[in-house]
Amino acid sequence: SKYEEEKYNATIAAIPVGNYNQALEIGCSIGVLTGKIATFCNHLVAIDISNTALTQAKERLKSASNVEFRLGGIPTAFPQGNFDLILMSEVGYYLSMEDLLLTRAKISNALNQNGILVLVHWTHFVADYPLTGDEVHNCFIDQGFSRLHHSATKDYRLDVLKKLN
């Protein structure tokens, strides 16, 4: 969709330019953003809770040897290892506040010094979601991260954070 395409382009533009050795995408869905991120990452772990979405993502990116797909939800299936870049897009508001706080701790532990965290979430109220996009983002602000970028449209919010020591 036009919304998704604009959001993905804004997300990529907001990420500090560079080559990231180890990256993690939480909620990769069908792999559209994954493909864009993979171009500047040596190794990208892409996780999603939907097997259907992962199947499409694997097919879409079958030629991308640096992408490793995993089935699972956070915080329970949070991948081991350390990362220079972590993206969480359109996932946080599905979590309870308890699970979001657990996820925040896992992200903080997994991010290398000066690591980059990218958060992108729909900000309209949805009755079925435990949290709003703003609640998700605000949970990370001033919690061991400095904000490098913030932008918001009428539909979504984008924050790029850097891990403080």
Give the separation between CA 31 and CA 60, rounded to whole angstroms.
7
The residues with which 97 forms a beta bridge, in sequence order, are none
Q: What is the pLDDT along the chain (165 residues), one digit of tens a residue?
A: 898 899 999 999 999 999 999 999 999 999 999 999 999 999 999 999 999 999 999 999 999 999 999 999 999 999 999 999 999 999 999 999 999 999 999 999 999 999 999 999 999 989 999 999 999 999 998 788 999 999 999 999 999 999 987
The sign one gets for the Cα dihedral 38, 56, 111, 153 is positive
Cα separation, 44 vs 149, whole angstroms:
22
Q: Please state the domain count of the chain.
A: 1
Structural domain boundaries, residue 95: 2-163
CATH number, domain with residue 157: 3.40.50.150
DSSP state of 72: -
The pTM is what? 0.96
14 half-sphere exposure, CB direction, 13 A CA radius: 24
CB 130 within 8 A of CB 93: yes
- What is d(CA 151, CA 127) in angstroms, rounded to the nearest whole number? 24
